[in-house]
Amino acid sequence: MNTSTDAKTMCPKVEAKPGCIQAALAILGDKWSPLLLGQLVEDSKTFSELASSLPGISPRTLSARLSGLEDQGIISKKCYCEHPPRYKYNLTKKGADLRTILIQMATWGNKYS
């Protein structure tokens, strides 16, 4: 009996192809991005709303995370006409697909914290 083959058939493969987890971590692997996305799951928010809902994040870090998530196609920003210009950030379709993952992370954290 080959135990390594038996172990493979009993445990499903986590990644459909190598690099899937790494790709997700490129987006969700820092401290603030999952928390930021969690704030945008329910509704779009302005920069100041996000800053006040995430105590401890510096404006520089928030700006960098928002830019990075926008570059990845996870969020978009819409300008609404005011002076000075203001933006609302919201999830794209790609970002909305992370909702289930974020809920599962929150559920797991609640269970083991």
Angle at 52 between CA 46 and CA 55, to 5 degrees: 135
Domain ranges of the chain: 31-112
Q: Is the pLDDT assigned to residue 41 strictly greater than 70?
A: yes
The pLDDT, as a whole number, for residue 84 is 82
The pLDDT, as a whole number, for residue 13 is 82
Q: Is the pLDDT assigned to residue 105 strictly greater than 70?
A: yes
- CATH level 2 (architecture), domain 31-112: Orthogonal Bundle (1.10)
d(CA 39, CA 89) in angstroms, rounded, equals: 10
User: Quick one: tokens of 65?
Assistant: 């995370």
Q: Which one has a higher pLDDT value, 7 or 27?
A: 27
pLDDT in tens, 43-101: 999 999 999 999 999 999 999 999 999 999 999 999 987 788 889 999 999 999 999 99
Amino acid at 60: R
Give 89's contacts (C-beta < 8 A, 6+ positions apart): 40, 44, 45, 46, 47, 50, 66, 75, 76, 77
Contact (Cβ atoms closer than 8 angstroms) between residue 66 and residue 77? yes
Region 29-52: mean pLDDT is: 96
The pLDDT, as a whole number, for residue 90 is 97
pLDDT in tens, 1-17: 454 454 455 556 888 88
pTM (two decimals): 0.82
